[in-house]
Amino acid sequence: MNICVFLSAADLDERYTRPAREFAELIGKGGHTLVWGGSDTGLMKVVADGVRETGGRLVGVSVGFLRALARKDADEMVIAKDLAERKALLLARSDAVVVIAGGLGTLDELTEILELRKHGLHDKPVVLLNTVGFYNGLTLQLRRMEEEGFLPMPLAELVFLADDGADALAHLEESLGIS
């Protein structure tokens, strides 16, 4: 399975790096491929290291202005012309999407992926990995949107909310019929 992971390129403390690393190791041990923003910095590096060290493949999709930060030992590295093309390539190269803690770029990626799913432009499973409650506020907002009629489908059909990497991966494997 090719798993696209959206997450931060910032250096973060162990509350975020440890669960991200644990999820990455599950990807690698499962023989899956990480499809990610290609950066060799911060949380992106932590996840890529975890996947690489446990036998998984790395497919990076970077963008021209971030080329200098791209990981050198990825199995494959694609350089997109801009952020819009990067997001499209990340989705096209993946079977499923997991969103881990991140900043504005990660939030942009999540909302675009959910909007595309809402309109039936992809049917890939999407997981919001709520490490240490990072996405509690967003989850509250999404539930309010559902309750007040702003979502045309149940929230559970748009995104699976997971508290840990094992639940996230189990949901993806179940959704895609992988045992």
User: What pLDDT digit, counting tens, does each position of 126-162 carry?
Assistant: 999 999 999 999 999 999 999 999 999 999 999 999 9
Domain that holds residue 116: 2-172
For 113, other C-beta atoms within 10 Å of its C-beta total 24
Beta strands (DSSP E) in the chain are 2-6, 33-36, 57-63, 76-80, 96-99, 126-129, 160-162
Summarised one tens digit per residue, pLDDT across range 93-126 is 999 999 999 999 999 999 999 999 999 999 999 9
Q: Is 51 helix (H, G, I), strand (E, B) or coil?
A: helix
> Which position has the token pair 């949901």?
171
pLDDT tens across 8-48, in order?
999 999 999 999 999 999 999 999 999 999 999 999 999 99
Give the length of the chain. Answer: 179
The pLDDT score that the predictor gives to residue 101 is 95
The predicted pLDDT at position 2 comes to 97
Residue 179 covered by a domain: no
Asked whether residue 95 is assigned to any structural domain, the reply reads: yes
Phi-psi region of 120 (alpha: psi -120 to 50; beta: other; left: phi over 0): left
Is 178 among the domain residues?
Answer: no
Is the residue at 177 inside a domain?
no
Residue 179: is its pLDDT beyond 80? no
How far is the C-alpha of 77 from the C-alpha of 86, rounded, in Å? 12
The two three-digit tokens of residue 69, written as one number: 């930060």
Cβ–Cβ < 8 Å for 11, 41: yes
Q: Is residue 67 predicted with pLDDT exceeding 80?
A: yes
Q: Domain holding 122: CATH number?
A: 3.40.50.450
Q: Total structural domains in the chain?
A: 1
pLDDT for the residue 68? 94
Domain membership of residue 145 (yes or no) is: yes
Kindly state whether residue 10 falls inside one of the protein's structural domains.
Answer: yes
